[in-house]
Structure 1
Amino acid sequence: MDLRLRGKTVLITGASKGIGLACARGFAAQGCDLHLAARSGALLEAARAEITATHDVRVTLHVGSLSDDTAMRALAEAAGEVDILVNNAGDIPAGDLEAVDDAAWRRGWDLKVFGYISLTRAYWARMKARGHGVIINDIGNSGENFDARYIAGSSGNASLMAFTKALGAVSLDHGVRVVGINPGPVATERMVKIMKRRALDWHGDESRWEELFDKYPGKRPATAEEVADLTLFLASPRAGYITGTIVTIDGGIAARGSII
């Protein structure tokens, strides 16, 4: 299927690894020019080298922390006009209410919750003014499948779900679409960190995190490429009437009401 994305310009945060990098590869394969943002300059340079070696697209790198509103406004200014924004940077800590202190909770929300809101605000005005654009928020299924052992993440993701639905409900009146994606467990470094914390809570031993695979649908997590494929479709004109909604990709975990 031709997604009709060739020639589009895409900004992806958290683009140096995991879902963000998989999205970068996918959009490049569709002929999109890229703005990739993350903290690790070395990983971004490696991503650009890989992508430009196989695809005739422009890849611009934006290296730095995205943990406050000033940084997000600076990123939007540096990247300029884009057709598609993929909000993906985030690392909210795992743990229950007693394990996550105020400082850790605020750091996690500054990067993900307020980060998504700040960058969306910066691009919403531009997209609205020109009458087109797509904003994709990579959120997480704990926002609909509440988990006391990931309480900061569940709370933050639920907030971003509400934000996405509220803005997306009116955005198409201005030619803009706002959509959320709720991955469940995905085979990334971040998933390993969360699952180690869960193994510690459940089994008293973080090294037993791989045993939790037995609880997954199909006995595996999703791949980053599966999430990227969904992102590309939702960002494309093929999904032109999809806005103000959240698409869950978790093998049915949230539908089961299961906490993995």
Structure 2
Amino acid sequence: MDLGLNGKQAIVTGGSKGIGGAVARALAAEGCAVHLVARSKDVLATTASEIARESGAQVTYSALDLSDSKSIEALMAATSLPDILVNNAGAIPAGDILSIDEARWREAWDLKVFGYINLCRAYYGAMRSRGSGVIINVTGLAADRFDAGYVAGTTGNAGLNAFSRAVGGRSLNDGIRVLAVSPGAVATERIETLMRTRAQNEFGDSDRWQSYLGNLPAGRAAKTEEVADVVTFLASDRAAFVSGTVINVDGGHGGNLGIIS
């Protein structure tokens, strides 16, 4: 299936590894020019080089901390207006209401929650002036499976899903599609860290984290490529009438696992 993405320009935040890296690879394989954004310049440079070599696509990058709104100004100044914006940057820590203090909560939300919202606000206006664009927010299934042990993440992801539904509910009037992709557990370094934290809190032994995998559909986490393929399809004109919705990629609603993204 030709997705019609050849020649499109995309920005992928959190694009140096994990889901973001997989999304960048998938878009580049379809012929998109991809601009990666993350904090680590060295990791970005390596990932950009690998993707360019694999796909032959143009791959550039900016090492920026998107929790600082000034970084968004720098990003917009350094790049042309993209056809596709994929918000994926963010790492909200595990913990309950007593273990996540205000400073950690605000730090996490400044990147994932307000970072997404601020990027949407910045690019939506420019896309509206042009009359086209796609914004996809990668959230997480904790938005639906409320988890007291991941309270900052479950609340933040729920808010981003609501934000995506609200903005995307009428964005087609401006020629723009806004939606969210909400993965369940995905096989990344981050999910292992979250599971280890939970295992330490519940069992006093972080090495028991793999016991949670048995609660997942098919006894495994999703591959990053499985999430990236959904994002890539939704970014294309093949999904031209999809907006203001949340697509779960969870193998059947994440089993009994609470911490997932």
Tell me, yes or no, whether TM beats 0.5.
yes
1:54 aligns to what? Answer: 54
TM-score by length of 1: 0.97
CA contact (8 A) 2:143 2:158 kept: yes
2:194 aligns to what? Answer: 194
Listed one character per residue, the Cα deviations across residues 78-123 of structure 1 (whole Å, up to 9, x for unaligned) are 2221000000000111010111111110000000000000111110
Listed one character per residue, the Cα deviations across residues 153-184 of structure 1 (whole Å, up to 9, x for unaligned) are 01101110111001000100011000101101
Listed one character per residue, the Cα deviations across residues 190-228 of structure 1 (whole Å, up to 9, x for unaligned) are 111111111122222111101111111100000100000
Q: Which amino acid aligns with 1:56?
A: G
> Structure 2: where are the runs of 5+ without partners?
none
Q: Which moved more, 1:195-204 or 1:125-134?
A: 195-204
Q: Which moved more, 1:108-117 or 1:51-60?
A: 51-60
Q: Provide the C-alpha distance between the structure 1 equivalents of 2:220 and 2:29, rounded to a whole number of angstroms.
A: 26
Regions of 4+ moved over 4 Å: none
Q: Which amino acid aligns with 2:65?
A: S
Q: CA deviation at 1:60?
A: 1.3
2:165 aligns to what? Answer: 165
Q: Which moved more, 1:208-217 or 1:106-115?
A: 208-217
Q: CA deviation at 1:33?
A: 0.2
CA contact (8 A) 2:215 2:256 kept: no
Are residues 49 and 258 of structure 1, via their aligned partners in 2, closer, same or farther at CA, if it must alter by over 3 Å?
closer
Q: Which amino acid aligns with 2:229?
A: D
CA contact (8 A) 1:179 1:246 kept: yes
CA contact (8 A) 1:73 1:118 kept: no
1:16 aligns to what? Answer: 16
Q: Which amino acid aligns with 1:85?
A: L
CA contact (8 A) 2:49 2:59 kept: no
Q: Provide the C-alpha distance between the structure 1 equivalents of 2:76 and 2:87, rounded to a whole number of angstroms.
A: 12
Q: Provide the C-alpha distance between the structure 1 equivalents of 2:192 and 2:77, rounded to a whole number of angstroms.
A: 34
> How many pairs are equivalent?
259
Q: Which amino acid aligns with 2:125?
A: A
Q: Provide the C-alpha distance between the structure 2 equivalents of 1:129 and 1:17, rounded to a whole number of angstroms.
A: 32
Q: Provide the C-alpha distance between the structure 1 equivalents of 2:22 and 2:216, rounded to a whole number of angstroms.
A: 22
Q: What pairs with 1:74-223 in structure 2 (closer than 5 Å)?
A: 74-223=74-223
Q: CA deviation at 1:258?
A: 5.5
2:71 aligns to what? Answer: 71
Q: Which moved more, 1:193-202 or 1:113-122?
A: 193-202
Q: CA deviation at 1:257?
A: 6.8
Secondary structure in 2 matching 1:253: coil
Q: Provide the C-alpha distance between the structure 2 equivalents of 1:88 and 1:105, rounded to a whole number of angstroms.
A: 18
Are residues 258 and 25 of structure 1, via their aligned partners in 2, closer, same or farther at CA, if it must alter by over 3 Å?
closer
> Structure 1: where are the runs of 5+ without partners?
none
Q: Provide the C-alpha distance between the structure 2 equivalents of 1:258 and 1:115, rounded to a whole number of angstroms.
A: 26
1:241 aligns to what? Answer: 241
CA contact (8 A) 1:253 1:259 kept: no
Q: Provide the C-alpha distance between the structure 2 equivalents of 1:55 and 1:221, rounded to a whole number of angstroms.
A: 26
Q: Which moved more, 1:98-107 or 1:49-58?
A: 49-58
Q: CA deviation at 1:147?
A: 0.4
CA contact (8 A) 1:73 1:119 kept: no
Q: Provide the C-alpha distance between the structure 1 equivalents of 2:252 and 2:55, rounded to a whole number of angstroms.
A: 35
State whether structure 2 residue 40 is matched by structure 1 residue 40.
yes
Q: Provide the C-alpha distance between the structure 2 equivalents of 1:15 and 1:144, rounded to a whole number of angstroms.
A: 25
Q: Provide the C-alpha distance between the structure 2 equivalents of 1:73 and 1:61, rounded to a whole number of angstroms.
A: 15
Q: Report percent identity of matched pairs.
A: 49
TM-score by length of 2: 0.96
CA contact (8 A) 1:140 1:181 kept: yes
Q: CA deviation at 1:253?
A: 2.5
